[in-house]
Structures are given as structure tokens and as C-alpha cells.
Amino acid sequence: MTTVLVSGGAGYIGSHTVVQLLEAGLDVIIVDNLCNAKYSVLERIRRITGRAPVFYQTDVRDRPALREIFNRHAVDAVMHFSGLKAVGESVSHPLRYYDHNVAGSIALLAEMEHAGIKRLVFSSSATVYGDPSSVPVKENAPLSARNPYGQSKLTVELMLRDIVAADPTWKVAVLRYFNPVGAHSSGLIGEDPEGVPNNLMPYVAQVAGGRLERLSVFGKDYPTRDGTGVRDYIHVVDLARGHLQALAALPGVDGMLIANLGTGRGYTVLEMVQAFERASGREISLRIAPRRPGDVAQCYADAGYAGQVLGWQARLDIDAMCADTWRWQQWANDNLYPAPDSDPAGVPLQATLPFDSGCPTASSPAWGKPC
């Protein structure tokens, strides 16, 4: 049976991908420092799938811990989601982003190489394209990331290109995805930001759910149909399925493939708000705020290549994205979530070595406790 190590597997996209992997019958090992995730998601993954992943609360920058994990388990492939992901925060704290996203990737890749594991699916981002000169964006579009988050993803892509050029036995899939939204249809897992959300959909959901007073729309003077930014919003379940199909395609990959994962259609911020109002039956109070540093006017994908090489295309529409997000928000409200975290039943912590992860939310996190 194939065993996949998933870095950042307790996070938003990682947890949905872990569900897909477990449901496909694969064995999963999660490595996550819980900076942007909680223990309790592991129990909810078990409730959805009937299976429990192996879990290590470990930072991917901790090379001795990674080496111990690779020594304990016969890992066939790695999916790499770990990292920080807020564009605005990356502008304010660039070193933090290069440390987590680039240094973390270097540590993981070095330990993979040491263990002889050379199959990787890497979580990249459409931010590597910067402000594209034309849309939809193809994989061969110029790369000009405009913020440290995008630069960190692009740096890792360039590293992977060099690694594959030096050693063609590596097989790598780089997935550049656009704007993940939505939640699992069970309502048990979804986007779970720490503090005030940085992304549109969880913010809208928390306004609809009464946790936040109003939505701030950053910029209404873009050259778009209603003045607000246009993005390619993709359901996280479609995105997770894309990772599973990329994993299946790795044996036939010649070195490295790069594919966009998106719907190929862009929606404005206000169009997404209106769709969420329809799904929730709630009015979303909003205000117009200045543009955020690092944001671009519009970006949406040409995902045709993913269809060719992975046999993948998005299936879930904007109504499903909003309905599933609202179901997740209602579950969170009904269960007073997030509550104080605890060890999940049936998913034992496989502790390795202590490591100060330097989480943005805690200056010195204690080993064995969430940041």
C-alpha cells in the first residue's frame, strides 16, 4: 500500500487532501507544527473517513525530526503544504515567510533526498504570476510575484527545477492553484484561520454567522466590471482531488510538471458576496477599504493543461462553494468552535524532537501543545 507523508496535513487544504488520500485507501503520515491548525481536525478526519492518519507535531524545518520520521516509515511520496500563506502579512514580515516557506522546503527536500524519496507534489500558488498581462493565465505566462509570499513559492519552484535537472530520478508535480474556498460537504472541516481571517470566504462566513460585524472590501477602483478584484475561486475538494490525481500521475512524469488548478472563471469580490448571501439567506454588511499591498486586479486560470496531463477539471460551482462554507460555519457556531484544543481521540501524537517553530501566534510554543 502506498504511504504518503503530508506536510501541513492538518491545515485547510492539507486536511481535505488527507481525506481524499485516506478514502482512496492510501496510508497517510501528517507532519504539522499546528501553527495554522488544531489537533481536533484529526478526529474530524477520522469521523469522515473511518481511518486515522499517523500524526507528528513537527516543524518541517526540524531536520533531525524529519530524519527520524523517514527512518520509522517506508514513505513512497510526499505532499508539501507546510508554510505561511497571507499575502498582506508577508509584506509586513518577509523574513518570517522566507524562513517558513523556503527554509522549510530546503529542510524537507534534503531529508527526502537522504531517505531516497524522490516523488513530490508541491503546493504552489498563482501568486507566482504577479499581475498577469492577460487572462486566463497559462503555465508559460511570465513569472513576476509581487509579494514575499509569492516570491517564496516561486523560489521553491526554482529550487525544484534545479534539483530535477541535477537528478532526473526525481518526479515532481508543482500545482499552482488559485483561490481555494469551500469546505467538506460534511461540514466537519473547513478553512479555520487564527484570529481575523485574511481571506474573503471565511471573513464573509463569519459576518453571516455573527462573529464579525462587517466585511472590508479592499479596493473598489480596480479596472474590473464592478471595481473589485477578480479571482478564480476553486472549491477545496476539487483542489484536493487534483493533488490525488497528480500523485497518481507521478510515475509517468519526466522530471517536473507544472499545472494550474482553477475553474477558468473569475468572480469579483462583490459577486462572491452576493452568492454567499443567496446560500446563507443572510445579508452581508460591508465597507469599502483601501487596496491591500501586494493584491492584483484580476487573476484566473487556464486549467486546460491539468485536464491533459492529470485528467482533472473542477466540478463544483460557486453555489456549492458558498453552501459548503456556510454549512461549515454553522457547524462551528453550533459547536462553539474553536474551543480549547485537546488531544484528539484515536489519533495519538507521535512526538519526535522538541523544536521552537517560531509560530506567528506564539513566541515560544511548548512542545506537545498547539501554537
CATH value at residue 164? 3.40.50.720
Q: What phi, psi does 239 have (nearest 5°)?
A: -65, -45
In a domain, 354, yes or no: no
Return d(Cα 368, Cα 353) in angstroms, integer: 10
In a domain, 221, yes or no: yes
pLDDT of residue 346: 45
In a domain, 266, yes or no: yes
In a domain, 48, yes or no: yes
pLDDT band at 360 (very low <50, low <70, confident <90, very high): very low
In a domain, 367, yes or no: no
Contact 290, 218 (CB under 8 A): yes
Residue entry with cell 482512496: 24
This prediction has a pTM of: 0.92
The torsion region of residue 26 among left (phi > 0), alpha (psi -120 to 50) and beta comes to beta
Decide: helix, strand or coil at residue 59: coil
Higher local confidence (pLDDT), 242 or 369: 242
Identity (one letter) of the amino acid at 97? Y
Q: The domain containing residue 193 runs over which residues?
A: 3-334
The torsion region of residue 230 among left (phi > 0), alpha (psi -120 to 50) and beta comes to beta
Identity (one letter) of the amino acid at 196? V
Residue 93 CB burial class (10 angstroms; 0-12, 13-18, ≥19): middle
Q: Read off the pLDDT of residues 51-60 as tens digits, 9 standing for 90 and up.
A: 999 999 999 9
Identity (one letter) of the amino acid at 66? L
In a domain, 348, yes or no: no
- Rounded mean pLDDT of the chain? 92
In a domain, 357, yes or no: no
Q: Which residue among the candidates 12, 56, 149, 267 is catalytic per the annotation?
A: 149
In a domain, 252, yes or no: yes
Return d(Cα 24, Cα 326) in angstroms, integer: 27
pLDDT of residue 362: 31
The torsion region of residue 346 among left (phi > 0), alpha (psi -120 to 50) and beta comes to left
> In sequence order, what E strands does the chain have?
3-7, 27-32, 54-57, 77-80, 119-125, 171-177, 179-181, 215-218, 230-231, 233-235, 256-261, 267-268, 286-289, 298-299
The torsion region of residue 207 among left (phi > 0), alpha (psi -120 to 50) and beta comes to alpha
- Looking at the structure of the chain, the number of domains it has is 1
Q: Read off the pLDDT of residues 110-129 as tens digits, 9 standing for 90 and up.
A: 999 999 999 999 999 999 99
For the chain, the straight-line distance linking the first and the last C-alpha, in angstroms and rounded, comes to 33
pLDDT of residue 198: 85
| Lookup: cell for 193 | 484561520
Q: Read off the pLDDT of residues 265-283 as tens digits, 9 standing for 90 and up.
A: 999 999 999 999 999 999 9
Is 149 tagged catalytic?
A: yes
